Structure 1
Amino acid sequence: MESFDDIYLDLSKQPGKCRLAESGLGWKPSGGQTFTLDKSEMITAQWSRAARGYELKVIARNQGVIQLDGFRQDDFDTVQKCFKVWYAVELVHKEHALRGWNWGKTEMGRNELTFNVRNQPAFEIPYTEISNTNLAGKNEVAVEFSLPADGEETGTNGHLGGARSKGRKMGGAVDQLTEMRFYIPGTETRKGRKKDQEDGADEEDEGEEEDANAANVFYETLMDKAEIGEVAGDTFATFLDILHLTPRGRFDIDLYEKSFRLRGKTYDYKISYDNAKRFFVLPKPDDVHSLLCIGLDPPLRQGQTRYPFIVMQFKRDEEVNIELNMTDDALQTKYAGKLQPRYEAPIGTVIARIFHGLTGKKLFQPSPLFVSHHQQSGVKCSIKANEGHLYCLDRAFLFVPKPATYISFENVAVITMSRVGGAVSASRTFDITVALRNGAGEHQFSNINREEQNPLEEFFKAKGLKTKNEMDEDSRMMAAALSADPDLAR
């Protein structure tokens, strides 16, 4: 047995002891669980200079890329001998490109994407760390990396950082790379599908070759290699061409066991159910549409833009008839009472119910205590120049679609109702300013119809929210001014 101290596994925060034995290798941190890798799992091994000294990188059959960093230069001969004699695996010494060039050639291996500069790797990205990829332009591909939901959610031991946390390795670091973009110009020749060979050997022609956009080829290959979307297994249900107000566009929705996927013409998103924190079913005040809002943490990212909410819009009278792609056994054991084998109802209701069944999370609806002047659940208003609707829920306010704003009643210090400006429209509309506790800022909802004042005031009172009505003060001052001048009073 050979033992090495101060070795870091998969970018872990804390070091551990690495041991090589005839049966395989192991890594044990102080106060954590042991990681082991059987010798039958090992395919290839690589030795290279890394952040904390020298890194031993092992490609395993089932566990993908395993990185062990912190070896000394003198350890190479010992490690190489162990791998050759015990594991029958050659330890390859690989030099990284240190030129600092940002152009090179990508190579997609079995477990990772390698960026080579002059046939030397500049960096490697394990596919497990890639959460999504999008065509950001005609020749540009954006690659997004997995983010931990919070600082602790980085593996079996939070204090260890990224150790044993495939897909969240980098979460243990102070700073984390979240997105990388590749500019890939030109076209690439690729073979089409082969013809059916049932008619004999004459049809053995190679598939027709076609020129395709190089960025598209890279994108499709990476989607396939990183198993984005497909990793979730078979789709339980698919809904085509669903209108989304945030992010704007039409997306196909694929629902899997542990995640769902939005497929658009330009962008694809894969979202874990763990990241979907809240679901809201909201009737739109036009009596025609309904909204399904999904609160995400961490938010969905599209370049520099973050979307903390997904907002879908459906027609209330658009019915759908769908049968879930799920075995009777799974329905009865895993989702007993949560999902039905078949749904026939308005499409928005069906999608919401399936989400509820798969995630087990509650579907929030507007509070029955609030009914607007027009017998609706939402009130039309604006945040700055963006028009939308404010919904009063049992424990929070929600403004949709853009910018989607969620305000919990627990965080509300005071609500001020005021009339802005001296124009004629000021008498028809008013504003609400929601000040948050502990000086955390405020939210202003403007251009609310004056008829909604009483229903809103009654709701605030029912919920015990502190309110301040500046409009009544203005009205009293106006009445006092009128009564002081007999001519005006008439």
Structure 2
Amino acid sequence: MSEKVSQFDDIYLGLSPELGLLRLAQSGLGWKAHKGSPIRMVQETDLKKTYWIRAARNYQLKLHLRDGSIVKFDGFQRDDYEKLKDIIKANYGLQLETKEMSVKGWNWGKTEFQSDNLLFNVSNKEMFEIPLKEVANTSLTAKHEVMIELTGQDGESDKNKKGDQLVEMRFYIPGTVPKDPEAEEDGEEENAANMFYEEIKALADIGEAAPGDGIVLFSETLCLTPRGRYDIDMFPTFLRLRGKTTDYKIAYTSIIKLFLLPKPDDLHVLFVIGLDPPLRQGQTRYPFLVFQFVREEETDVTLNLDEETIATKYEGKLEKKYETRTYEVVSTLFKALTGRRVTIPSEFFKSYHNQSAIKCSMKANEGVLYPLDKSFLFIPKPPTFIPHSEIGSVTFSRVGGGSAVSASRTFDVKFNMKSGVDYSFSSINREEYANLNEFLQNKKIKTKSMDEESTGRYSVMAEDSESEDEDNGKRKRKPVGIQDYGNDMGDEGESSPDEDFVADDSESDVAEEFDEDVSDTASGSGSDNENGGERPPKKSRK
């Protein structure tokens, strides 16, 4: 005699967006997606309790298994209750209990850890639950406050998700609790928020990993953005950043860009990591991590990988042991584990002092601007990524005109983006103008020069300046002191600039001193007659 099977169509499994078919037989339950092959089986002997709950997607069948895990099926209709109740009673000898949810809307209650879920109960009724496998990070933001950061299912990035999604929650947990619940009344007590934080770390697998799982650990690595020193613990599919107060778990799939750039001081090298979704610290988002290494510092590390894994999984891109400069080891490991190319400085740009970047300021923040093959990158704060393809034009100001302007030691540059956003950089050494202008012309980026700040008149600069070539000469430009990555340049042009670092249009550039009494009839400046012609007559104002 064949086993009787009951089925329900259009049922969801857990948080899955896919509909599927749920079948119930005496031997157990089985769910299969309508499109694709995902199958979930639950044996009859594994069932412990069953619940009927009003959920977001109609009604839910919640299964508690004997191993402590929970399985949920959503999408049932109200009329399915009686049929499902009889099937569960006949096949598994269990009661389908109705569980009421709290709908008071209160934001205070009690938390409870149940298997791999965090429950929030109000008046002894469940209000919501958080699957701990969806917790990407947690930290103590205050003495009695714990932050939980949530990630998308299967590590999806923000841009691939549809609709709104909860990404962060904060719990205020006052008071203290006994450190050992079985201790006497005079036992040692601990901050309740700290104990809650440690339990989240343990159950969500955010804290220490199992011994032997990590590939390599770089201790006390200096990070400029966000500021601090972090341990970089690298695993096969993710890395952990562990600081004094924060721990981050970052999947390699969320790393979209890598840069290895020498600092203009000839002492340090910067390693920049682009993230999507960005790292979060409270309300602040960090789409770029900026690490700094001493150029001559060397390290001696042995990877926790066998030779067979290196040869097969990583296709020989890694070595068992490294004895070389630290920044080279770090960049090589990131390249192999993430599958991303490492962008190095452009061979078509060298500053006046033969560096790969120019010093400047963005508003009140001092930093360095790197002209790369397919983008510009300003670091360390705020890291600003400007692809060449998004630039409408570049405007130079205070590079020529009146005598006071000519005497200025610095100039400003503004990137006018096609999106309407402007990025302004000030306090650039005047000696850098020729090289930066030549680089922009080589990249076919339209440039403009402001003749006089007082009148706001602009003139389009020539595509090729023969006089500048004769004066400054041609130099063959090669990056200095950075490992050769072959064809790894140019990956930075794959995505648009991060909107978290859009400059405020209402704010003006950083002010510089200049003589307000400069005469419009000043003559004899080299910039006015650099092509041998006379200064054009001043246009009359309407």
TM over 0.5: yes
Q: 2:6 aligns with which of 2, 12, 18?
A: 2
Q: Which residue does the alignment assign to 1:137?
A: 142
Distance across 1 between alignment mates of 2:406 and 2:287: 33
Instruction: Note the C-alpha offset of 1:8.
Output: 3.3
| C-alpha separation in 2, matches of 1:245 and 1:26 | 51
Regions of 4+ moved over 6 Å: 420-426, 472-479
How far apart are the structure 2 equivalents of 1:61 and 1:259? 31
Q: In structure 1, how many angstroms separate the alpha carbons of the residues matched to 2:128 and 2:327? A: 45
Pair 1:176-2:165 in alignment: yes
Whether the aligned pair in 1 keeps the contact of 2:239 and 2:249 (CA below 8 Å) is: yes
Unpaired runs of at least 5, structure 1: 154-170, 195-204, 485-490
Q: 1:82: Cα distance to partner?
A: 3.1
Give the match's secondary structure for 1:481: coil
Q: Write out aligned runs for 1:137-176 (5 A).
A: 137-147=142-152, 149-150=156-157, 171=161, 174-176=163-165
Q: Which range is displaced more, 22-31 or 287-296?
A: 22-31
Are 1:273 and 2:252 an aligned pair? Answer: yes
2:26 corresponds in structure 1 to 22
Aligned counterparts, 1:277-296, within 5 A = 277-296=256-275
In 2: Cα distance, 1:322 partner to 1:78 partner: 62
Amino acid at match of 2:174: P
- The answer for the alignment partner of 1:428 in structure 2 is 409
Q: CA shift at 1:144, angstroms?
A: 0.8
Corresponding position of 2:201: 223
Match of 2:523 in 1: 482
Shift of 1:361: 1.4
- Matched ranges for 1:271-350 at <5 A: 271-350=250-329
- Taking the TM superposition and a 5 Å limit, the aligned residue runs for 1:194-273 are 210-228=188-206, 234-273=213-252
Where in structure 2 are there 5+ consecutive unaligned residues? 462-517, 526-542
Tell me the amino acid that sits aligned with residue 437 of structure 2. Answer: E
Answer yes or no: is the 8 Å Cα contact 2:394–2:446 preserved in 1: yes
Distance 1:212 1:13 in 2: 41
Q: 1:465 aligned to 445, 461, 467, which one?
A: 445
- Normalised by the length of structure 1, the TM-score is 0.84
Q: CA separation in 2, counterparts of 1:12 and 1:398?
A: 39
SS of the aligned residue for 1:191 comes to coil
Q: 1:134·1:219 contact (CA, 8 Å) conserved in 2?
A: yes
**How far 1:66 sits from its partner (Å)?**
3.4
Mapped contact 1:65–1:126 kept (Cα < 8 A): no
- Show the counterpart of 1:168: none
Amino acid at match of 1:218: F
CA contact (8 A) 1:417 1:471 kept: no
Structure 1 209/318 Cα, relative in aligned 2: closer, same or farther at 3 Å? farther
- Aligned letter for 2:436? L
- Measured on the aligned residues, the alpha-carbon RMSD in Å equals 3.2
Per-residue CA deviation, residues 247-293 of structure 1 (Å, 9 max, x unaligned), is 11111111011111111111111111000001101111111111110
Partner in structure 1 of residue 41 of structure 2? 37
The question of 1:109 aligning with 2:114 is answered yes
Q: Does 1:189 align with 2:154?
A: no
Corresponding residue number in structure 1 for 2:61: 56
Match of 1:202 in 2: none
Note the alpha carbon deviations across 1:436-461, whole angstroms, 9 max, x for none: 22x34121111111000111112112
* Alpha-carbon spacing, 1:293–1:90, altered in 2? closer, same or farther (3 Å): farther
Higher Cα radius of gyration: 2
Supply the AA of the counterpart residue of 1:20.
L
Q: What's the offset of the Cα at 1:90?
A: 5.0
1:371-411: per-residue Cα shift (whole Å, max 9, x none)? 11111111111111111100011111111011101111111
Paired residue for 1:377? 356
How many Å separate the matches in 1 of 2:303 and 2:360? Answer: 39
Quote the Cα distance in structure 2 between the aligned partners of 1:52 and 1:152. 24
Separation in structure 1 between the aligned mates of residue 93 and residue 295 of structure 2, nearest angstrom: 64
Partner of 2:490: none
Q: Is the partner of 2:197 in helix, strand or coil?
A: helix
Q: 1:229 to 1:220 in 2, by over 3 A?
A: closer
Conservation of the 8 A alpha-carbon contact between 2:449 and 2:458? no
1:44 CA drift (Å): 4.2
CA 220–313 in structure 1, closer or farther in 2 if over 3 Å, else same = same
Q: What is the CA deviation profile of residues 198-242 of structure 1, one whole-angstrom value per residue up to 9, with x for unaligned ones?
A: xxxxxxx99x95322111111111111111255798111111111
The residue type paired with residue 413 of structure 2 is I
Question: 1:127-158, CA deviations, whole angstroms, 9 ceiling, x for partnerless residues?
Answer: 122111111111100011113545785xxxxx
1:79-90 to 2 correspondences below 5 Å: 79-87=84-92
The 2-side partners of 1:9 and 1:36 are apart by 8
Offset at residue 357 of structure 1 (A): 1.9
1:244 and 1:180 map into 2 onto residues whose CA distance is 26
1:67 aligns with 2:72: yes
Q: 2:417 is aligned with what amino acid? A: L
Which amino acid is the alignment partner of residue 91 of structure 2?
W
**What one-letter code is carried by the residue in structure 2 that aligns with 1:446?**
S
The 2-side partners of 1:123 and 1:426 are apart by: 67
Contact 2:157/2:276 (8 A) holds in 1: no
1:387 aligns with 2:392: no
C-alpha distance in structure 1 between counterparts of 2:69 and 2:369, whole Å? 48
Number of the residue aligned with 1:445? 425
5 Å matches for 1:389-408? 389-408=368-387
Amino acid at match of 2:398: R
Identical columns (%): 48
Other structure's SS at 1:47 match: strand
CA displacement at 1:191 relative to structure 2: 3.2
Alpha-carbon distance, 1:322 to partner: 1.2
Q: For 2:179, what is the secondary structure of its paired residue?
A: strand
What secondary structure is seen at the aligned counterpart in 2 of 1:277? strand
Using the size of structure 2 for normalisation, the TM-score is 0.76
Name the aligned partner's letter for residue 171 of structure 2: F
> Matched residue pairs, number?
453
Check the 8 A contact 2:398/2:405 in 1, yes or no: no
